[in-house]
A = this chain, B = another copy of it.
């Protein structure tokens, strides 16, 4: 009887262990996926920021060219 009880308890614990290990697997999979999404989001963001920096440089160029144009206009007005 005692042996039967132990047997039954052991089966129950073994089943619980299997369930917990399965849950563990799922959590690890979720974690890896989330980490990959996080990383890919960071790569995306860095590319975004890099494109913005290129636009900033273009804007710098345009402001510089407008300033040159402004100087030409000033010279023209005062020069003749």
Q: Which of A's residues lie within 8 Å of B, judged by CB?
A: 2-3, 6-7, 9-10, 13-14, 16-17, 20-21, 23-24, 27-28, 30-31, 34-35, 37-38, 41, 44-45, 47-49, 51-53, 55-56, 58-60, 62-63, 65-67, 69-70, 72-74, 76-77, 80
Contact = CB atoms under 8 A, between A and B. Distances in A.
A12 to B, nearest CB: 10
Q: How many copies are assembled?
A: 4
B76 A51 contact: yes
Interface of A is mostly: helix
A48 B73 CA distance: 10
A74 B45 contact: no
B60 A73 contact: no
